[in-house]
Amino acid sequence: MQPKLCVNIGKLKLKNPVMVASGTFGYGEEFKDFLSLKKLGAIVSKTITLKPRSGNIPPRTCETPSGMLNSIGLENPGIEKFIKDKLPVLKKAGVPVIVSIASENDPNEFVELIERLEKLSGVSAFELNISCPNVKHSHVKGLIAQDSAATFEIVQMARRATSKTLITKLSPNVTDIVAIACAAEEAGSDGLALVNTLTGMCIDVEKRIPKLGMAVGGLSGPALRPVAVRMVWETHKRIAIPIIGMGGIIDTQSALEFILAGACAVSVGTANFINPMASLEIVNGIKQYLEKHRLSNINALIGSVRA
């Protein structure tokens, strides 16, 4: 008998627990020649804002030991062009589409974005990106995801605006991620995405200038993974809603770390730039792991680390 890989996040049903992370997979079309999109658990779109954004000044990326820094600044075409040009392509993928959304100046922008997308076919769920370290918000000091009260307010507003699955993406740039996670759960989030990038900086020692145009950026890749796994493990012990683990997942073993720590699903990000097939290799690898250990269901693994 084939092991069951399907998992649920709120109303969202995934045929397997492997999705691709926002900002690393474009809008699906960019990867369609490299892999069969319909074999993914879900696709998370590049984050969308109400108005088009040109993003941050270059350079926007640089390599780091076991990772990379990025300071893209949520470059995107805005909601109108997303609906007209990008969503139709995403719909053809044949898997659930999670639309990542963010505000720029006003928290009500989250509600407006949801209202524009709520009744459109092809939108399976929303990811509230309240944790991007490369965008400044005028309505909150620092990141929304660094403040429990602000997180609760945004999630509650979004919850009232949609009946679809709502996922809140949290930041590792906090002293107590569990407190933020609990606020999101209490406000009505169906699931959590843990974690976004960790703020970092690289300097060109010959030129004596930062390697990124904005000086600092978000650290992703394997260097982030131990921090992310720890945060998933801590959070899983305190909340009841599902967790999507992310942060340095490059292969089956790293994906399994998150699942054993308490994630019901994983999201592949930076690895997509290195190996476009990484996500599907992980799907097959998880299946083989379950077969090897004679487990009939992926749910038997979730949070099963002996610690």
Task: With a cut of 70, say whether residue 173 has pLDDT above it.
Answer: yes
Give the model confidence (pLDDT) of 236-255 as tens digits: 999 999 999 999 999 999 99
pLDDT on residue 70: 97
Task: With a cut of 90, say whether residue 208 has pLDDT above it.
Answer: yes
pLDDT classification of 76: cutoffs 50, 70, 90: very high
Supply the mean pLDDT for the chain: 96
Whether residue 59 contacts residue 88, with contact meaning beta carbons closer than 8 Å, is answered with: no
pLDDT on residue 135: 58
132, 182, 202, 264: the catalytic one is: 132
Task: With a cut of 60, say whether residue 276 has pLDDT above it.
Answer: yes
CA 257 – CA 232 distance, rounded (Å): 10
pLDDT on residue 113: 98
pLDDT classification of 307: cutoffs 50, 70, 90: confident
Known catalytic residue at 132: yes
Give the type of residue at 142: G
Task: Work out the average pLDDT over 64-89.
Answer: 97
pLDDT classification of 1: cutoffs 50, 70, 90: confident
pLDDT on residue 105: 85
Question: Which residues lie across from 267 on neighbouring strands?
Answer: 19, 246
Domains of the chain listed by start with CATH number? 7-59+76-199+227-300 (3.20.20.70)
Tell which residue, 13, 268, 40, has the closest CA to residue 164.
13
CA 169 – CA 107 distance, rounded (Å): 15
Task: Work out the average pLDDT over 294-307.
Answer: 96
CA 63 – CA 258 distance, rounded (Å): 24
pLDDT classification of 146: cutoffs 50, 70, 90: very high
Q: Which helix (H) or strand (E) holds 244?
A: strand 243-246
pLDDT on residue 136: 54
Reduced to 3 states (helix: H, G, I; strand: E, B; else coil), residue 13 is strand
pLDDT on residue 103: 95
Percent of the chain with pLDDT over 90: 94
Task: Work out the average pLDDT over 57-70.
Answer: 97
Is the overall model pTM greater than 0.85, yes or no? yes
Task: Work out the average pLDDT over 152-168.
Answer: 98
Give the model confidence (pLDDT) of 117-142 as tens digits: 999 999 999 999 999 875 555 455 68
307 or 118, higher pLDDT = 118
Task: Work out the average pLDDT over 226-231.
Answer: 98
